[in-house]
C-alpha cells in the first residue's frame, strides 16, 4: 500500500527541520503555495512536485547540488513507497 501523503509530508518537514530548524515549516509552505496545494488535501503528485521544487530551488543553496540531489532522492523514495533510504 502506498504511504499516506500527509505522513510523508510530516516526515519531510521533520527532516527539513533538522537542516533549517523552525524556518523549515515556512520553506515547505512556500513550495506548497508555489504549486497551489493544500496540506490538508495532499496527493502523491503534490508531494512529488514539492520535492522537485525543493531539489531545484531550496536545497542547493544549503546542501550544494550533490547534497540537494541526494536529499531529494531520499524524499522521493518516501513519497513513492515509504522507503527509509
Q: Where are the domains of the chain?
A: 5-81
In the chain, DSSP finds a helix count (H) and a strand count (E) of: 4, 0
More confident of the two residues 47 and 39: 47
pLDDT over 70 at 85, yes or no: no
Across 54-78, average pLDDT: 94
Residue-wise burial string across 9-46, b where 16 or more C-beta atoms lie within 10 A, e elsewhere:
bebbeeebeeeeeeebeebbeebbeeeebeeeebeeeb
Is the pTM for the entire model greater than 0.95? no
The pLDDT mean for the chain works out to: 92
Those residues with Cβ within 8 angstroms of residue 11's Cβ, 6 or more apart along the chain or in another chain: 78
Amino acid at each position: 500500500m502506498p504511504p499516506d501523503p500527509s505522513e510523508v509530508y510530516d516526515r519531510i518537514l521533520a527532516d527539513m527541520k533538522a537542516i533549517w530548524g523552525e524556518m523549515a515549516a515556512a520553506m515547505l509552505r512556500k513550495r506548497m503555495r508555489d504549486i497551489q496545494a493544500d496540506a490538508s488535501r495532499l496527493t502523491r503528485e503534490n508531494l512529488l512536485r514539492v520535492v522537485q521544487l525543493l531539489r531545484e530551488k531550496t536545497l542547493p543553496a544549503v546542501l550544494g547540488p550533490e547534497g540537494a540531489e541526494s536529499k531529494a532522492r531520499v524524499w522521493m523514495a518516501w513519497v513513492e513507497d515509504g522507503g527509509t533510504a
